[in-house]
Amino acid sequence: MTGKLGGFDRFRLPAALLVIAVHTGPLLSVSPFANDLITDIWGRIAVPFFFAVSGWFLVPRLEREGAAALGPFLRKVLGLYALSALLYLPLNLYNHTLAEPGTDLLRDVFFNGTFYHLWYFPALILGACIVWALVRGLGRWAWIPAGLLYVLGVLGDSWYGLTAALPPLRAAYEAMFLCFDYTRNGLFSVPIFLLLGGRLAGRPRRHGAPACGALLLLSMALLTGEGLLVKALELPRFDALYFSLPLCVGFLLLWLAALELPSVPALRGWAAAVYILHPWCIVLVRGGARAAGLTGLFVDNSLGHYAAVTLLSALLALPFALRRPARPRPDARAWAEIDAGALRHNLAALSALLPAGAALMPVVKANAYGHGDLEVARICAGQGVTAFAVATAAEGARLRRGGVRGTILILGCTGPEEAPLLARHRLTQAVVSAAHARALEAAGRRLEVHLKIDTGLHRLGFAWDDGAGLAVPFRCPHLKVTGTITHLSDAEAADPDSRARTEEELRRFRVAVETLRRAGHEPGALHFQGSYGLLNLPGLPCDYARPGIALYGVHSAPGQETRAKPDLRPVLSLRARVVQLHRLEAGERAGYDGSFTARRPTVLATVSIGYADGWPRALSNGAGRVLLRGRSAPVAGLVCMDQLLVDVTDIPGVTPGDAATLIGRDGDQEITAEEAAAAAGTITNELLSRLGPRLPRTVLE
Ligand SMILES: *Cc1c(COP(=O)(O)O)cnc(C)c1O
């Protein structure tokens, strides 16, 4: 389920071309039959495909987070709808297609869209709300009403001839058609495709690309047959919905997912822009051809018309293919960018190291190593993650209040005074000793706990060979043991001594688990690997692995060798704004203590980030650097609490407002977290987890 989904991105291209085809009829002047096949039958896959892809990402989140996930989604779609409606207002006015204020306008705004293709947006909004309500009320049975709605939709669409033969049914539909022009809308046709995507997203992959491709072809043949049949029988009122369409879209998604292609985010913005802009392009091509006297080639010739509209749409949409530049908040002095795609990729790459049946329990303590705990947890939940680990009860409670469901394990030692907080938020607590268990028991709250075994780190946990102590939590009526865990002390290094120590710690863990079992106690879920345990001992039987740093796509230190070498991508980029420039004569000094001396005429840029933001003061005086305009600028003088100075003498054109990169890419240059941490004499775990609350986190999808 968490694999590479670049196939979805790629299919947006043919899907966009199909939508234009549906609206232009490219083969009309060549073969009306072939044209019908494309526009009335095969082309009808395109828009449901977009709905199903939305469902793939949205529905699992709706199931986990409910309204918390629905709100932002609706806001986004509503924003796009409003913008698009505005864009088409001139054409509405020119064509007099704007409905009079009243029921007609409501009908257009809520169902039909204010311009013909814009029905997509109100449909997506209504469909998402219905699906949210259905999964909330019915859980996994939500597809039954969604399926029934779709059947009603098809009977009002390409199979309408059947319906029309039954007078009462026909009357019912005619009444409905007062509210909307077609049953191809958010009520009838969208819920099924959203749910379809959502269900497929949560399904383990069973078949390879060839099998899925064959099933897709088969379902396409079915669709073709159905389409030709209803046409031959003259049944359609409109020809957008077919009984076999969900089948085709489902196998299409499975096939595209099975291809495991790397993602192409640029195609997402581009395809959306083509969809929104192409009716304008139709108008422009017609107008342009008339003005140039070329109607024969670009209007009457359907292929020429299609080519011109497609080309123009593709060109006009091009700016939307570009990744937004790294300036998410023009007012931010410094910020962290979180690359959701990289995080999803790392989840998939680390999942691949697990044995069958095991799952990841991402460690999101310390604000997800500085990445933003809620942001990270939500992205993980969207990929099917159902267990998280944090260090403190307060961190766990924060996740719950933010809508995170599933298991949340508190790794640190929580005192009995926090038992009410643990209970209220259904947090799972690591129990570290018999005394700890008794203290929690005495608090009188029902708690889920995992036993933490000390196998050599000597930080927290029951001594591995303390059979009597280990039995205590099982005798505490308020405590329910659902897991047994340890933390390895030396999994990072690959030398034989470290290997031997790790083997011994694993042996001690197994002995502790055996001791429990022999005493008739069920140890529950077993887990013992952090990032390096997983990277150096992939495939080890367990129920969970608890990666932290690796999930964020970096190693603790530069050049670390691990047994497994998954392709991990850095998730966080750190940027800060240039706020002022200073020109210094040779010999002039700058910074506290005059810590910088200009050896030549020098330009210094003030960058608004400092050690209070978590940027180490150890990176003063050239130990650290930033990227500006794709080039490297050394830190000049001492890093201050809220600012630092960089020498930009050799970088022409630096201006206040520029974004400096402290971690991440700028052009073909990159500063890795490993580099910065090593230069500051620490590891990335410390550097990242200390990035402070003053930095807004911006998630880039
Ligand atoms: C922090 C922590 C982890 C994650 O460690 P990484 O090395 O960052 O993967 C796992 N388990 C426990 C007990 C931890 O405290």
Is residue 548 in contact with ligand 1, taking CB distance under 6 Å? yes
Q: What is the pLDDT of residues 287-324, one digit of tens each?
A: 999 999 998 899 999 999 999 999 999 999 998 887 55
Candidates 228, 260, 276, 240; CA nearest to 3 is: 260
Determine the Cα–Cα distance for residues 570 and 588; give it in Å rounded to an integer. 39
Q: Are 173 and 161 in contact (CB under 8 A)?
A: no
**Catalytic site residue from 76, 94, 565, 592:** 592
Reported as type and span, the H/E element at residue 392 is none
Q: Where are the beta strands (DSSP E) in 494-648?
A: 525-527, 544-545, 572-584, 589-590, 596-597, 602-607, 625-628, 631-636, 644-647
Among 346, 361, 414, 546, which is best to mutate for testing ligand 1, by the most ligand atoms less than 8 A from CB? 546
Ligand 1: atom nearest CA of 546 is: 10
Is residue 530 in contact with ligand 1, taking CB distance under 6 Å? yes
What is the predicted pLDDT for the residue at 230? 95
Q: Are 659 and 577 in contact (CB under 8 A)?
A: yes
Ligand 1: atom nearest CA of 549 is: 8
pTM: 0.62
Inform me whether the pLDDT recorded for 601 exceeds 70: yes
Q: What is the pLDDT of residues 341-392, one digit of tens each?
A: 999 999 999 999 999 999 999 999 999 999 999 999 999 998 889 999 999 9
Of the listed ranges 29-33, 64-68, 519-523, the one predicted with least confidence: 64-68
Ligand 1: atom nearest CA of 551 is: 9
Q: Are 88 and 112 in contact (CB under 8 A)?
A: no
What are the tokens at 290?
Answer: 């008339």
* 233, 460, 572, 664, 677 from 632: Cα distances, Å: 70, 43, 19, 12, 17
**Catalytic site residue from 182, 275, 365, 544:** 365
Is residue 461 in contact with ligand 1, taking CB distance under 6 Å? no
Is 565 one of the catalytic residues?
no
Looking only at the bridges linking them, the beta strands covering 625-628 and 602-607 are unpaired
Residue 386 buriedness (CB in 10 A; 0-12 / 13-18 / 19+): middle
Half-sphere exposure of residue 176: CA atoms within 13 angstroms, side-chain side? 18
Is residue 545 in contact with ligand 1, taking CB distance under 6 Å? no
Among 361, 363, 373, 428, which is best to mutate for testing ligand 1, by the most ligand atoms less than 8 A from CB? 363
Query: What is the CA(647)–ligand 1 centre distance, in A?
Result: 38
The DSSP-derived string for 328-383 is S-TT-SEEEEEEHHHHHHHHHHHHTTSPTT-EE--B-HHHHHTT-HHHHHHHHHHT
Inform me whether the pLDDT recorded for 1 exceeds 50: no
Query: What is the CA(634)–ligand 1 centre distance, in A?
Result: 33
Candidates 354, 353, 359; CA nearest to 483 is: 359
What is the predicted pLDDT for the residue at 2? 40
Residue 495 buriedness (CB in 10 A; 0-12 / 13-18 / 19+): exposed
- In three-state secondary structure terms, 179 is coil
Mean pLDDT of the chain: 93
Helices 265-292, 67-95: inter-axial angle, 10-degree rounding: 10
The mean per-residue pLDDT over the stretch 540-552 comes to 97
Determine the Cα–Cα distance for residues 356 and 362; give it in Å rounded to an integer. 17
Q: What is the pLDDT of residues 71-100, one digit of tens each?
A: 889 999 999 999 999 999 998 888 776 666
Query: What is the CA(530)–ligand 1 centre distance, in A?
Result: 5
Is 365 one of the catalytic residues?
yes
Reported as type and span, the H/E element at residue 201 is helix 190-201
Give the confidence band of 423 by pLDDT, cuts at 50, 70, 90. Answer: very high
The domains of the chain, with CATH numbers, are: 1-30+264-323 (no CATH), 33-262 (no CATH), 343-552 (3.20.20.10), 572-671 (2.40.37.10)
Query: What is the CA(576)–ligand 1 centre distance, in A?
Result: 29
Query: What is the CA(431)–ligand 1 centre distance, in A?
Result: 16
